[in-house]
Structure 1
Amino acid sequence: MRRAQRVLLVVCALLLTQLGSLIAPAYACGCGAMVPGRQSTMGVDRETSVVRWDGATEQIVMRFTVNGNAPEAAWIMPVPSRAEVELGDPDLFRELDDLTAPEYRTRYYFWPRHDDWPFASDGDGLSAGAPLPGSTAPPVGVVGRERLGDFDVARLTATDPDALRDWLDDNGFELPADLATGLQPYVDQEWEYVAVRLAPEEDGATLGGTLDPLRLSFESDRLIYPMRLSRLADQPQSLGLYVLADHRMEPRDAIGGDAPKVRFAGRISSAESRAVGELTGGERPFLTAIDQSFPQPERIDADHELRATASDTPYRQVYYDDELRMFAGVPAWLATVGGVFAVLMLLVVGTAVLRVRRRARL
């Protein structure tokens, strides 16, 4: 009887899994919402963005690594003003990864640890490693539309989040009702939107791997990175930001996620990165690399606004490889202890010899 119940539970679990794979979830990205087509799935494994702000104009270059079986998907991002969209330079991310790579150092220790001899279990270990205001635009207006590689980009204005949902439905995508609610704060602030249809040009292809980066440019007197739509995600989110500005930057608050972590801060030159030089116009900006996790996306309550820190203190992650200090192939502690022991033995023996000689003279 118990065995039959277990089999029934397994069958039910498998059926639920199959049914779940037919549902088209809305995957929220760190700066927008990724909406796959009907009866397809898509997940964003990692979102990395480069943000360049000079005090008046903001540029965001985004790169997504996705998985799933979706031949098409829609991606939506709110922007505070009219945006220009073009393909980004894929070398930008590789060069920034190289510039912000952690430094590796060797750190020596003297006394043996639990995995060194004589404590090591194997007995021979000797080292350890370690819309515009006042306009009368319709509910949804298409400012422009162009094809950029695998992307069909539409720049939209909207005065009604439900109209945005209708627009996506008319274009063959399913938009969950709660996303319209998530867009309401942007509608209230009269923001505009960039809607991207990710559709590979090759017939039968599905979206997967690392997609070509997109570059958005718009006017902004504040450095803002839209994040509010990520509260609709049904799985933990992670965000990686490269911020290029005049000074070291930091988020004003955690907006419902874990505390942001800085893994690099420092001024760089165009000579160190061709792609960064093209993005910044040859200037020498301050680069801040920030990582943040959102274990409970529903707690995200605002967009990221970044501000300059009190000082431009440089920082680079350092990873240490701990090694036992050696001397002539022998652990230094063993040579030291052995040497001290030998000296003590010589003193004992020498003292004993002197006593014997003194007694002999008497």
Structure 2
Amino acid sequence: MIVALLALQLGSLIAPAYACGCGAMIPDANQRIGVDRETSAVRWDGRTEQIVMRFTVRGNAERAAWIMPVPGRADVTLGDPELFDALEDLTRPEHKDRYYFWPRNGDWPFDLSTGDGAAGAAPGSSAPDVGVVGRERLGPFDVARLTATDPKALSGWLEKNGFELSDRLSTELRPYVERKWEYVAVRLAPDATGTALMGDLTPLRISFASDRLVYPMRLSRLAKTPQSLGLYVLADHRMEPRDDIGGAAPEVTFAGGIEEKEGAVAALTGGRPVYLTALDQEFPEPSRIDGDHELRTVADTPYREVIYTGRLLTVGDGIPVWFLTVSGVLLAAVGTAVAVRARRGRAAVRSAA
């Protein structure tokens, strides 16, 4: 699943901000926070989109704010931490043995101990105010659902809550304002005071109405370091991005139908059969990101990565086939030489007689 991070140095009076694949993470002044990994699962049924995301963070920040643009009115709840473990199990590569004839490094006689070689195969309002649609406390999160007609409105809301929004990030929010998107603004704070935000945070589940499957990515163009995106997409069919939006070609690491009747995945899908697509994408030059991911339906061609383990071909109690073959050829050659020599000897005896 998947990694995205960004560091924006805003000066001594402004906190360094980190953009992740779907929003912006902003710590208190003079504190730092980085997103080491962002894992997202997206469920879309043609009418409603649900995004469940979990951040793995580091740094010394005791509080941080995070903003995500969404195309419609959003509901926010806590996600199930077991969801991503379940999805990882479902998309785990298949392991197969691949046998070879001739010995390799690690096989006798190239090594005193017997062993197997291994080979892998990859396969509006004018006033800069924020409209607060709702606000609630969810575990370690203080969640506000906002509307705004000007990017400066978000800056004003953050300033009132002890955070500052960079001018560059404010500029990147303008396309969302023009499309009349709304925002989910989250304040992250541990339950215990004096505790830095570290490790895996509780997942958040964000739901909104959408007749197309979209994953916000534009804010990651502010990143100064290469970005990685990992997505689990659960829909009626196999889904893939329409284009690379400025990154490397998206790679499908799993595609196939699943039907989970219970557990974290079933809670997201409602227990219905769905098609699961796992995607990975790299963004070596984040500044080239030119929009959000829109995903489209493609042919339901299944795919699972296969990792091959090379094993020496043996028979019986582990006797290498190559050894038997070579031994047989040598014995046959010796037998033939002996037979030829014997015939020549008999022929010489008859000639002497």
- Is the pair's TM-score, using the shorter chain for normalization, greater than 0.5? yes
Aligned to 2:136: 146
Which of 102, 116, 137 aligns to 2:93? It is 102
Aligned pair partner of 2:338 in 345, 349, 362: 349
In the TM superposition, residue 162 of structure 1 has moved relative to its aligned partner by 1.1
State the alpha-carbon separation in 1 of the partners of residues 338 and 241 from structure 2. Answer: 70
RMSD: 2.2
Q: Alpha-carbon deviation of 1:234? A: 2.4
Deviations 1:101-149, CA, capped at 9 Å, x for gaps: 111111111123456555x4x666654234xxx7899742000000000
Quick check: 1:23–1:40 contact (8 Å CA) kept in 2?
no
Question: What code does the residue aligned with 1:269 have?
Answer: E
Give the alignment partner of residue 323 of structure 1, picking from 311, 315, 320: 311
Residues of 1 paired with 2:273 and 2:263: CA distance? Answer: 12
Identify which range, 53-62 or 346-355, moves more after superposition.
346-355
Q: Partners in 2 of 1:117 and 1:170 — Cα distance?
A: 71
1:314 aligns with 2:302: yes
Q: Does 1:68 align with 2:59?
A: yes
Shift of 1:58: 0.4
Corresponding position of 2:265: 276
C-alpha separation between the residues in 2 aligned to 1:59 and 1:148? 17
- Identify the match of residue 289 of structure 1 among 278, 285, 302: 278
Alignment-derived partner of residue 7 in structure 2:
none
Q: Secondary structure at the match of 2:308?
A: strand
Equivalent position SS for 1:105: strand
**CA distance, structure 1, for counterparts of residue 126 and residue 224 of structure 2:** 36
TM-score (norm 2): 0.90
Q: Contact 1:75 / 1:195 at 8 angstroms: preserved in 2?
A: yes
> Could you list the per-position Cα deviations for residues 246-268 of structure 1 after superposition, in whole angstroms to 9, with x for gaps in the alignment?
00010011111111111111100
Quick one: distance in 2 between partners of 1:304 and 1:359? 89
Matches within 5 A, 1:119-268: 120=110, 127-130=116-119, 139-268=129-258
**80-89 or 330-339: bigger deviation:** 330-339
2-side partners of 1:286 and 1:61: how far apart? 17
Structure 1 distance, partners of 2:270, 2:113, is 57
Give SS of 2:76's match. Answer: strand
Amino acid at match of 1:337: V
Residue 256 of structure 1 aligns to a residue in which SS? coil
Residues 95 and 286 (structure 1), Cα distance of their counterparts in 2 relative to 1, 3 Å cut: same
Task: Please tell me the residue identity of whatever aligns with 1:323.
Answer: R
Deviations 1:25-47 (A, max 9, x none): 21111111111111111111111
Structure 2 CA distance for partners of 1:291 and 1:336, relative to 1, 3 Å: same
Partner of 2:62: helix, strand, or coil?
A: coil
Tell me how far apart the structure 2 counterparts of residues 29 and 59 of structure 1 sit (CA, whole Å): 18
Distance in 1 separating the partners of 2:95 and 2:12:
43
Flag the structure with higher helix content: 1
Aligned to 1:28: 19
- What whole-Å deviation, never above 9, does each CA across 1:318-354 have from its counterpart, x for those lacking one? 1111122234444322321121111111012112212
Whole-Å separation in 2 of the counterparts to 1:21 and 1:159: 29
**What CA distance in whole angstroms lies between the structure 1 residues aligned with 2:334 and 2:11?**
77
CA distance in 2, matches of 1:24, 1:319: 44
- Report the equivalent of 1:335: 324
Q: Aligned partners of 2:183 and 2:14: how far apart in 1?
A: 26
**Runs of 5+ in structure 2 lacking a partner?**
1-9
Percent identity (aligned): 65
Q: Which whole-Å CA distance do the structure 2 matches of 1:221 and 1:138 have between them?
A: 30
CA distance in 2, matches of 1:312, 1:135: 45
Contact 2:46–2:210 under 8 Å retained in 1: yes
Residue from 15, 33, 39 that aligns with 1:48: 39
* 2:49 match: 58
Structure 2 CA distance, aligned partners of 1:189 and 1:20?
A: 31
Is contact 2:14–2:164 with CA below 8 Å preserved after alignment? no
Structure 1: runs of 5+ lacking an equivalent: 1-18
Cα distance change on mapping 1:330 and 1:20 into 2, 3 Å: farther
Query: Relative to structure 2, which stretch is displaced further, 298-307 or 231-240?
Result: 231-240
Pairs aligned (count): 337
Rounded to whole Å, the distance in 1 between the matches of 2:253 and 2:242 is 17
